[in-house]
Amino acid sequence: MIFLHSVKIRSFVLHCAIAGTMTLLLDTVLPLDTAYIWFMCLNIVTFFSFGMDKWAAKSGSRRTPELTYHLLGLVGGFPGIFAGRGVFNHKTSKLGFIIPMWLFFFAQLLGVAWFYGDLEGKIQRSSQKEKQQTEQVKKPAR
């Protein structure tokens, strides 16, 4: 897999794998929908990753690529990003991180607003389509 040769992509995949493993483990014991557990685990991983990256920055260790945080945000980790930035006072002044972060955040908000904005209309159109398909099936062949 050629795309895994990039450190940035490997970092993102690792973070998602950790969140996914946590989700699978917690899904067996928590009475919540899997999507909520994923969201919770992803944000916990993202939050603590900010703390680890802050420590790595101070100690000169290997850092988490910024693209990893942007991608984590796009798959649901923005609360963890905002909490991690605030608690650890990390990535709060670098415009190369902040501008794309806000652009991705607002793009995601627009996508969610679009999806849920006309949800009732989408449901009605879907049920009308099902009725039409059911009526076509019930019509006798000539």
Q: What percent of the chain has pLDDT over 90?
A: 15
Split into its structural domains, the chain has a count of 1
DSSP 3-state of 30:
coil
Output the six-digit token pair for 38: 């994923």
Residue 42 carries which side chain, given as an amino acid letter? Answer: L
CA distance between the termini of the chain: 54
Q: What confidence tens digit (pLDDT) does each residue in 13-43 have?
A: 777 788 888 888 888 887 788 888 888 888 9
Mean pLDDT rounded to a whole number for the chain: 82
- Does the model's pTM come out above 0.85? no
For residue 91, give its domain range: 2-138
Q: Is it the case that residue 59 has pLDDT exceeding 90?
A: yes
CB 51 within 8 A of CB 91: no
Burial class (CB in 10 A: 0-12, 13-18, 19+), 23: buried
The dihedral built from the CA positions of residue 77, 82, 88 and 91, taken in this order, carries a sign that is positive
pLDDT band at 53; cut points 50, 70, 90: very high
69-88 pLDDT tens trace: 888 888 888 899 999 999 99
Give the pLDDT of residue 25: 81
